[in-house]
Structures are given as C-alpha cells and as structure tokens.
A and B are shown apart, each in its own frame.
Chain A
C-alpha cells in the first residue's frame, strides 16, 4: 500500500483531533507526556476539552472515570507501562469493574521507546489488560487502523485499551476493502501450509515474512488480529483448520498476550502446534529500534525461521 511513514503516536493524535471535531463529547487527558504522546495537538485544537494532570497517572484515570459518568468520552493517554501498572488499580477497580466508558491510549508500547530502555518499555501491558474482565484490548498494527481506531473505540461501549507505538509505520491496506471493526480480525492471505497471526506493529514484519515464504512456494494464511480481546475466534479457528500450524507475532511478553490468547482457544477447540514470536519473558533494553527487534527475535527473518520449523514437523 502507501509508502508514507508516520509515527503511530502522531497519527493517533491527529485522529483524536479529527474525531474531536465530529463529536463534542470526547475529551483527552494526559499526565505530562503530551509532547511525547502528541496529545498536545488535541490540546491546541480544543483547549477546554484537554486536561493535563501532570505526573499523576492514577489521578488521571480516576478523573477520566468521573468524566465518563458526567457524559463525556474520555481518552486517557500515557505510556503503556504506566497505564498498566501505575494506574493499574484505578483501571481495575473503577474502569474495568464499573464497565466505564473510558478509553485508554497506551503509547510508546513494546520496545518502540528504544533508547529510553527497560524502565519505559511496556512489554507486558497486553497481558495485564487482557486479564481484566470487561476490558477490550486493541493493538494498532498500521497507519490505516490508527486513523479509524479513535472513532471505533469512542463508539464501542465500555472500557477500551488502545496500544500505540512510538515508531513510524505506514498504511498496510485499504480501509475501503478492509474496514476496521473492533473484534474482527483481517485475513490478508489464505494459503494452506502455515498460518501467521500478528498483532501490533510487528504485522509489517509478518507481511514481509509471508512474502518471503510465498516466494518459495509456501502457502501462508496471514491474519491480523488487532483486537486481542475479544479475540476473533472464528477467524483463528478457520486459520488453524486450514494450515494446522501457526506462528503468533507480537511485541509483548510471550506470557499472557496474543500467544496466550491464541493457544487458550486452540488447546480447547483445535489443538495445533503454535510457535510464539514475542518477547521471551525479559525486560527491554537500550539501543536502536532495529537492533532491539533483532536481539529480541522480532524480525521477518525470525518469523520465517519459525515457519520452517513448523513445516519440518509436519
């Protein structure tokens, strides 16, 4: 699709502004990260609907809770790890338990805040959010989706966690042929030999891996599951029945994220071998993004090798 590259965090803030023009009820909160998360754009466009609470994430989420009950649709934004942990109890006890109409944007996800190092890299937020009852979890995979996710989340009832990368990404497909619907996965290829299921920005690498495999006449079913909860089980089972061997891809711990979600369904309904491409239960590190992705086994090459491994076993 298009070659235009843009940081995902910037695109989501542009989407907030665009939707903010359509819907006067949306408000945005940030906790002194708006120059990083780019929510400052919303603050510039709608100063009376933007609340920067300073470095107080727990406060921010509980304020968002109150705003949602006053009839607003709040988007509370911070770094992914802070929403999952620093504000974790507030997300749990009020937003999730209360099924409140609060939308959370966890920015700088995965290893995308590469130079800052482990303290800032959210490598478990997908697992944490997925384990919360009533929480919907969406990991944006590419630019097409990011421009649609704000509106989709605002119109979806209840708590939604939107995971957003610091990194640049491009549009991977055409929204006209692949509309974004929360809970609905997108099948990009339908080959027979191996399945690749991805969520988040690693989808770009998954796409490259699929192309490399196809160049060797290996048939690939390529599925994008932006919504990790609720998982599109039907699409997943279809993929498993067809290929009988899967690789899951995510920039999150292999414990509790997409790999967990996929294997939970398959172990019960259609057991097939599944190899996880993800962060192997370790914290992040400092370096360039490309170096970290290589070191943590999150590249197209790693996905391809995992596919070969599955094919050997068949």
Chain B
C-alpha cells in the first residue's frame, strides 16, 4: 500500500469503528481514532505477520497494551484477513468473539489479552527475552496510551528493558493528551515525557502520529537502529477525524446518541464494508 492508500485505510478504520460502536451501543471511540494511522502503517507496511498462519514462529509481535482500542485492532485484523469482516458488527455482543477488550483465545491475531493497563511493555520484554533464547530475529511492537503511562508498571518495564538490552523492542505511545477523566495535563501531568524516558536509557523518537509518511520513516529507523529499546512518541489527537470529538475526554468511552452518530458519519463519509 502506498501513502494515499494508507490514509484511505485509516479513514476506513474510523468509519468502521464508528459503525461498530453505534451498533454495539458502547466502545472506546476517541482512543481508537487516535491510533488509526499507527495501526494502518504497522499492519500494512511494517509487521511480518501472516493471517493464514497467525502463530508462525518467526513473526513480528504486536501487543495492544491500550486494550480499550480493541475496535481499531479488530478492524485492522479483519482487514488483513485474520477473521471475517462480517464479525465486526458483533462487537460487545453476547456470544461474540469481539469482547470489549481483546481476548487472545477468541480473536486470531491477538497475541495476549489486555485491558487492564500498564502490562504490555512488560509482556513485550518477555517476548523479546524468549525470542532471544530461541534465536528468533523478530521485532516486538507495543502500543500504549499516554494516560496508561501513569501506571507504575510501565516505568518498571522501562528500567528492565534497558537492563536486558532489548533493542528489538519498539514501544509506540499514542500521545493524544487526553485520558478518561480529562486531559493528561489536568489529571496527571507528565512533563518532559521524552526526556524522562531517554533518561531511563531508551532511544526516543517523536513524530506526527497522523502522518503516514512520518510514521513510515520513524518506524523504519527504529527497527534498524541497534543498542537500546526504542520508544516512539506519536503526537496524536483523541477522536481525530470527527470535529466535535477531537481532544474531548468525554469521547474516551461515551456511547453515541443518534444525532452524534449521524454528524460523525457525515464528517467521515459513508461506510462501505
């Protein structure tokens, strides 16, 4: 996929997630929209994964540490063919494989069940250590939220990744500046985020998380550089793509009413599944 197609794919993700959340009556729209380009670029251009062989031993690993962005992950996995697209509109319904947060035993392509925040970076460390012992040359990617970095376990993991010299670990932070109760600045400010993480010994990159070109460039660089674990601070907007959602904390997990659904749909464009 070229840059234009990737942008279209990200927009398609937003349209689909909107529809999924509408039919489900709930879902985390804001945080799913903010990582649309990230997931599109990762799954179309970066990750060595095979939907026909989800467990192939030399695959790259992607961990959605911010598990509430499940709708976005489900979209991209269905798009890649890990499961049938028809299942997408069963999000959060009884009997669906698509729970509110990803279940590794129900959804092909989900490496580990997440939802309780702060665990993904540690999981990534475990995968890296195991791959190293098994002499598997994969890269492990972890997508975290910025609010998620409030969790102390993330900083435990930041120290550990450096101790173990894990330069095949790439963490992306969906830096959308908004969490559940308000902006990150209001709820728990984390000033100098890049400098803090660099001080732990990580190689930190910044990019525009909605620029497909930027993401391609930084992810390619991060994968190639040796020595330290990598962290990409992707500057994003919560609810990106729908004007009344952008930067608004209420769209962390608020269900849509009919008027909001129609307005959002108008802005994003008609959905064709």
- Spell out A's residues near B (CB within 8 Å): 27, 48-49, 51, 53-54, 56, 58-72, 74, 89-90, 93-94, 97-99
Contacts and interface: CB of A to CB of B under 8 A. Distances in A.
Contact of B123 (A65, A71, A74): A65
A258 B224 CA distance: 54
B140 to A, nearest CB: 8
B121 to A, nearest CB: 8
B111 interface: yes
Central interface residue in B115, B160, B164, by most chain A CB within 10 Å: B160
Contact of A66 (B104, B113, B130): B130
Given A54-B159, A93-B116, A94-B113, A62 B134 contact: no
A61 B159 CA distance: 15
Contacts of B122: 58-63, 65-66, 90
A65 B160 contact: no
B112 A59 contact: no
Contacts of A69: 111-112, 123, 126-127, 130
Nearest to B123: A66
Contacts of A93: 113-116, 119
B130 A72 contact: yes
Nearest to B118: A58
Given A59-B160, A62-B119, A62-B126, A72 B133 contact: yes
Contacts of A56: 153, 156, 159-160
Contacts of A94: 112-114, 116, 119, 123
Contacts of A61: 122
A63 B111 CA distance: 14
B123 A63 contact: yes
Interface string B122-141: 11111111110110100000
7 contacts: A27-B133, A48-B133, A62-B119, A62-B120, A62-B157, A70-B127, A94-B114
Contacts of B133: 27, 48-49, 70, 72
Given A58-B156, A65-B112, 16 more contacts: A51-B164, A53-B160, A58-B152, A59-B160, A62-B119, A65-B119, A66-B125, A66-B128, A66-B130, A71-B130, A90-B153, A93-B113, A93-B119, A94-B112, A94-B113, A94-B119
Contacts of B123: 62-63, 65-66, 69, 94
Contacts of B131: 70
B105 interface: yes
A63 to B, nearest CB: 4
Contact of B126 (A48, A54, A58, A64): A64
Nearest to A62: B122
Nearest to B164: A51
A50 to B, nearest CB: 11
Contacts of A97: 113
A51 B165 CA distance: 12
Contacts of A67: 126-127, 129-130
Interface centre among B114, B125, B128 (most CB of A within 10 A): B125
A53 B157 CA distance: 9
Contacts of B115: 93
Contacts of A89: 116
Nearest to B124: A66
A70 B160 contact: no
A62 B164 CA distance: 15
A72 B153 CA distance: 22
A146 B119 CA distance: 31
A29 to B, nearest CB: 9
B116 A66 contact: no
Contacts of B119: 58, 62, 65, 90, 93-94
A68 B156 contact: no
Nearest to A99: B105
A102 to B, nearest CB: 10
Given A59-B122, A89-B116, A93-B119, A66 B129 contact: yes
A168 B243 CA distance: 67
Given A69-B111, A69-B112, A90-B119, A59 B156 contact: yes
A71 B134 contact: yes
A63 B125 contact: yes
A59 B153 contact: yes
Contacts of A54: 156, 159-160, 163
A301 B33 CA distance: 66
A90 B44 CA distance: 31
A53 B164 CA distance: 9
B112 A58 contact: no
A70 B105 contact: no
Given A56-B156, A58-B122, A98-B113, A51 B105 contact: no
A68 B112 CA distance: 11
A63 B116 contact: no
A63 B160 contact: yes
B134 A70 contact: yes
Q: Which of B104, B114, B115, B122 has the most CB of A within 10 A?
A: B122
Nearest to A89: B116
Interface in B30-79: 57
A128 B242 CA distance: 45
